[in-house]
Amino acid sequence: MKEIKPPKKPVIYYYIVILIVVMLLNTFLFPAIVRHSIKEVDYGTFLTMVDQGKVKQVQIEDDYITFKPKTGDTVYKTGTMNDPDLVNRLHKANVKFAKVVPRENSPLITFFWTWVAPLLIFILIGQWLTKRMQSRIMGGGGNGFPFGKSNAKVYVESETGITFNDVAGQDEAKEALQEIVDFLHNSKKYVDIGANIPKGALLVGPPGTGKTMLAKAVAGESKVPFFSISGSEFVEMFVGMGAARVRDLFKQAKAKAPCIVFIDEIDAIGKSRNSSMAGGNDEREQTLNQLLTEMDGFEPDKGIVILAATNRPETLDKALLRPGRFDRRVPVELPDLAGREAILRVHARKVKLADNIDFNVIARATAGASGADLANIVNEAALRAVRLGRNRVTQNDLEESVEVVIAGYQRKNAVISMKDKLTIAYHEIGHALVAAKQSHSAPVHKITIIPRTSGALGYTMQVDEKETILMTKEQALDKITTYMGGRAAEEIIFKTITSGASNDIEQATKIARSMVTRFGMSDEFDMMALETVNNPYLGGDTTLLVSAETASKVDAEVLKIIKTCHQNAKTILLNNIDKLHELTKYLLEKETITGEEFMAILSGKQLETV
């Protein structure tokens, strides 16, 4: 898409610049020219030149005398003296002379030009500026002060514009938006049958899933102008400014119809009016009211489609979501396995790749990643290839970039004592061994004890062989047991515990609490809903909707699950204590081992064949 440049500055700016230049020239250059063309002399020199017959013409004024010689173009100037014999000398030398008598202005005229005229000029300028400002604030036209003018970026059709081919992993969203594209191309067939195309479509989903890119793709496919503005750009300090900008935005859209208007982060102006406190932000409410009015103010066959994006749909005002405004809600969710692989291929188009790239492996290792995360992974892989002096991205670059995005860069200069290194090794092998000995855990993909910049001293990566949508109770319990494996290994080997299991404890507790309060996986509470999720696209914080007595029972049930899984992890490690020692020794030597190496040692194969 090619962005339209804003209109040129109004003519008044050029007038001001020209006036300043003329004033500077008049102050510094022109007086210098005048000074160079008039030469000052003393009165004696003047009389000598008169007596010698060198003066042609004299002009006598109150303060000075100017005279011109018979030869040359220079004009001379001298001061006046009380000389009664001057007139006789001029007559004797045949010099033409004249006495200049200054004309006195009327006191009334002097008062007018000195006081009244400047005051009138300032009043007229002030009135003009006030009218221009008011017209802009109220959404009027003109090129004056742009207080009420929207800051929307306008894009037009371009051969390099974004289309649906540039958006991967969102097939359902593209299908829902395809109808809007068809309407903008062939609106007549919809009008003939009496169908009304949706006035607006609301794109909802987590950050980084491609909502803005989808909106641009709709405009690129439709080949119509595309207005893009953020919801926060409407809100200003002055009440009424946001409403004026909404009016101006829709005025521009109607002038360029058919077109698409895209409002990003619409929750900045579209929050529910019922949720605001007493005496809330009048500016935001007026802006929302104006937006609702404008959406009702144009006919659906005009070819104006409003697209908006948000990751907080639950906060939007109900009037904004009713039929006739944002009729269609298009979910833009995190991509699945096939979607992640397609997104990786799209972003890899601009990168030189080696021949043996397997995007499916990277897609399986990035469950829960958004499109922006995957783009970042491809870019990190390209940067790593350049750092290592290669001109193509390899499979190893992509796999390492996944770890960079998840856990940060390697801390190569970190100094860790052998005792701590041994503890970390047993901790990570404890996770891997417990996971491998359970039937509902994902396979181990990689184990490392190299510290990362995120603060992780080591980690065990598990990658599912296929995409999982639902999680069974057995899978949830096995996940908690795997998290307990690191702490259990420390207890068994060192007879003490460290702070290295803090993140494991946090993740295990979160799963156990969800099993009790949300998933209905507890015998104590059966299928009773105890918790609600707020902002599902932004972290998903929860609110417990129970009494204090029930909350205490929930805590007891969560503790029971964690204790059971902790004991199961200990039992698995005690039953495989020899493998725990053997795998830890190998990990200490290599620092990083693959899942294949881990499984080979666990199954009793010779290390030489690994």
| 409 half-sphere exposure, CB direction, 13 A CA radius | 8
Pair of tokens at residue 207: 């950050």
Q: Which residue of the set 221, 265, 341, 428 is catalytic?
A: 428
Do 433 and 581 touch, CB atoms closer than 8 A? no
According to DSSP, residue 7 is labeled P
Pair of tokens at residue 147: 């207080």
Cα-based distances in Å from 380 to 33, 210, 375: 66, 19, 9
* H or E segment and range at residue 446: strand 444-448
Burial class (CB within 10 angstroms; exposed 0-12, middle 13-18, buried 19+) of 339: buried
Q: Which of 281, 373, 269 lies closest to 312 in space, CA to CA?
A: 269
Q: How far apart are CA 318 and CA 304, in angstroms?
A: 22
**Dihedral (C-alpha) 321, 324, 325, 326: value to the nearest 10 degrees?**
60
Q: How far apart are CA 591 and CA 397, in angstroms?
A: 18
According to DSSP, residue 41 is labeled -
Q: How far apart are CA 595 and CA 365, in angstroms?
A: 13
Does the N-terminal peptide bond of residue 300 adopt cis geometry, omega within 30 degrees of 0?
no
Place of tokens 């009327």: 106
Q: Which amino acid is at 249?
A: L
Q: How far apart are CA 399 and CA 358, in angstroms?
A: 10
**What burial letters (b/e) apply to 279-305, b meaning 16+ CB within 10 Å?**
eeeebbbbbbebbbebbeebebeebbb
What SS3 state is found at 322? coil
Burial class (CB within 10 angstroms; exposed 0-12, middle 13-18, buried 19+) of 526: exposed
DSSP assignments along 244-276, one per residue: HHHHHHHHHHHHT-SEEEEEESTHHHHB-GGGS
φ/ψ of 255, rounded to 5, equals: -70, -25
Q: How far apart are CA 482 and CA 428, in angstroms?
A: 10
Cα-based distances in Å from 479 to 39, 81, 235, 489: 101, 113, 46, 16
CB atoms within 10 A of CB 501: 21
According to DSSP, residue 393 is labeled B
Q: Interhelix angle for 577-590 vs 418-436, to 10°?
A: 130
Pair of tokens at residue 305: 């489609």
Q: How far apart are CA 199 and CA 435, in angstroms?
A: 52
Report the Cα 442 to chain-centroid distance in Å.
Answer: 36
Q: How far apart are CA 539 and CA 472, in angstroms?
A: 22
Pair of tokens at residue 499: 């702070």
What SS3 state is found at 587? helix
**Would you call 608 a catalytic residue per the annotation?**
no
Question: Active-site residues: which are they?
Answer: 428
